Amino acid sequence: MRFVVTAGPTREAIDPVRFISNRSSGKMGYAIAEAAVAAGHEVKLISGPASVAPPAGTKIISITTSDELHDEVHRTVRNCDVLVMCAAVSDYKPAKFQAQKMKKRKAPFALQLIPTRDILASLSRENRAYLVVGFAAETHDLESNARKKLLAKNCDMIVANDISRNDSGMESDDNAVTIFFRSGESKRISRAPKKIIARELVKIISKMLQKSLTKKSR
């Protein structure tokens, strides 16, 4: 099977030395890519600036901004069986890039932000030949928010995790996730190293894809 996995943060430049980003380390996405390779799948890994070494056996496509990620996703999904959108995409970017470094001011400073493009929402919803796995990093109302995203973004499944915890999630080697399916079912994977969770996710995704292919062949 052909996997496209996105991982890591995006960076939205303010000026030549400053940018807006987030705490994503890329560890979860990289672990999923590694697990997919180990299971015998072909993997393209679209990665923002991550803090971990790329897994062997993957084709790495490096990006920095949300616009670059948007374009690479649309390019690679043309020839894939599953898209795993694990990257932590910036929701906003500066309205204007300052070509020169801005000097510090004593007066208060306001930065105008505009929304970035919604990559999941931009994907075609008709006659889609690949599965879409979304991720939801939540600090509250995890199930409600994840289920809303599952439907609003037309994903086949959503992997949600509570990033308010101190022992797992962003920057940590561990994670704890709940998977929500369009059928209304859910599956919880208790706190464990991200590499173990990644192996479970790849198994679940592979089974879902096999069922999908079986239905189409009938």
Tell me the HSE value of 1 on the side-chain side, using a 13 A CA sphere.
Answer: 26
Would residue 166 show up in a list of annotated catalytic residues for this protein?
no
For residues 7 and 47, is the Cβ–Cβ distance under 8 A? yes
Helix (H, G, I), strand (E, B) or coil at 146: helix
Q: Which of 22, 127, 161, 166 is catalytic?
A: 22
Cβ count within 10 A of residue 90: 21
Round to whole Å and give the CA distance between 45 and 61.
Answer: 6
- Residue given tokens 């915890």 in the structure block: 165
Round to whole Å and give the CA distance between 39 and 8.
Answer: 22
Closest CA to 4 of 44, 37, 33, 36: 44
Active site residues: 22
